[in-house]
A and B are shown apart, each in its own frame.
Chain A
Amino acid sequence: MAVTNLPATKTMNSQAQSTQTLTGAQIFLSCLMAEGVDTIFGMPGGVILSIYEALPEFPLKHVLVRHEQGAAHMAEGYARATGRPGVCIATSGPGATNLVTGLADAYYDSVPIVAFTGNVPSSLLGNDAFQEADIVGITRPVTKHNIIVRRVEDLAQAIKEAFHVATTGRPGPVLVDMPKDVLLASTEFDYANTEIDLPGYQVPQTYTEQDLETVLQLLEQAERPVLLSGGGVISGNAHEEVRAFAERFNLPVASSLMGLGGFSPNNPQYIGFCGMHGQYWANIAIANADLLIVAGNRLGDRQTGRPDRFARNAKIVHIDLDPSTLQKNVEAFLPIQGELKRVFQDLLNKTENMERFRHSLETRAAWYQTIDSWKTRRKPESFPDGVLSPQYVIERLFHWMPKDGFVTTEVGQHQMWAAQRFNLDRPRSFISSGGLGTMGFGFPAAIGVQAAFPDKTVLDIAGDGSFQMTLQELATARDHGLPVKVAIINNGYLGMVRQWQDKMWNRAPQARMTSPDYTKLAEAYGGVGFVVTHPDEVDEVIQKAYAITDRPVIIDFRVREKADVYPWVPAGGSNDEMLTEDEK
């Protein structure tokens, strides 16, 4: 621990040699070291200068961002790719408020990030001081926990609690606000003996033996079961147990957007991505299932469509760590609250002898045949010859992607096309903004991933609308030699907005938008830019871009303007009423 090497003013505990007197800024950085943090994403400012003054004493990598929203998304990308908490830091006032979108994004997608903000000196709080903001008040609804530290003596405990809360139970963002005087004051520091005092914070495990037995009884009777694998399978590191369970019962497995990569798309039992823009056959399978086991998915509206029609022929077993998710949007026949890894391991332990399930297993071949028949009933999307279609571009980006690469997305049409086509088969390899739907997320998130895995290929699939929200982070990527690839699916529109406006009102006011010359933009920031206008150029440019390893790359794919995402469930419709391309 770095604490022993610090320029402490004096050692207070001569016996244990573990207590030192440090400033708040030193305590902050020492806590990060003790929590295993290696990278922080942030921007300095007036009230946190004491931290930046002390930073060179600590072996922490600091990624200087161009906007604090980027810092929060980078921390998210880092956390989603590694499974470890991401850390970001901002100064008071606008620095802090700029974090809000990233915190909300992490909240709705259950991402463990810890955000630190400075604030004005305690004596000025409430005085409308320069760059004062009640950031704890502002972020209360979009954080799992937040706190303003009023005394330097409480700082280490607050930070220890922040990491504990962010990373345990259902993960989520935590914010710690530190007034300037707290960072400048000194006190004794002994992290190992700093205790967490959160008696109300518990991670319950309420499922019973009877719950598990009921699941098995339902599986005995099921002839058309489906398992829906959600983001909780990934964040709970339960993918191995879920795979083993699905294989033991030969269950068809569908995935939510957040669950992509949690169950291998190369597994023959995988039936695809489901929800509003999910694969037709996956949605129809869920609509016709007689048993739906939902693992780590909150059954949000983009997942279920009309909730009273969702899986209406099925008994639903909903397994989730978060009790508040159960019976919230969809009424389950059997809600089970507990850690997914434990629940599925317990189910596996109880089913080493599969004799009682013989009848159900004998029906599975017919069920798979039925699902296969839905795959062939619909025509695949067709693309005009010679025109650069966004779907084709994304298919080729995936084709050339190294198998150990990562992909992030922005939000919009390109995100759905990527979810349908980017079949990476590792957890934490497909990183997207699901709950909040944050345009501008993908590029800074990709920088966070690249900072954690500097030698891997990291691709951001972007829209021209989304990329223009956070493109200033090109400078961050360039400064740190992070070779993120940005594939802009450039259709000259806010594509999803245009699609909805076209479908609902037969016109699309204000969805048309211009872009800068992305090749020049990349070069201006010290990166490399390509432009692609014809299908014949796609493969060569992608290979060139993937080969660049020392600077950011932009590929401007000038795709046809009015391609639509299919399948598509109109607002308020049920998933089995989805429109496919041959019904548009």
Chain B
Amino acid sequence: MKKVANYLWVEKNGGEYTLIMTPELQDDIGTVGFVEFTKAEEVAKNDSLLELEASKTVLDLASPLAGKIVAVNDKATDEPTLLNSAKAEESWVVKLTGVDEAEFNALADA
């Protein structure tokens, strides 16, 4: 199941929720040149997931859901342009668990 919120796709696989860059977001920010992920292990809704510097803007990307961060796309730290990729396996941001399913269901369908 796929939803969209805060310009990110939210893909649900079992209890794991992957947040992925949308083409609209990629278009709005331009080529990504610098990425720094949050060091927090848990995020509340609208907490910062990462800060990125791209050709068109500097952006603080906020989480559309509260949850526990179980993985971040570390590769993007070394190779920020991965976040410009059309492939979800390259342009994902973080994976969350412990998300309230009702909150997820309330998001807009992708």
Q: Do A and B come from one complex?
A: no
Chain B positions near chain A (C-beta within 8 angstroms): none
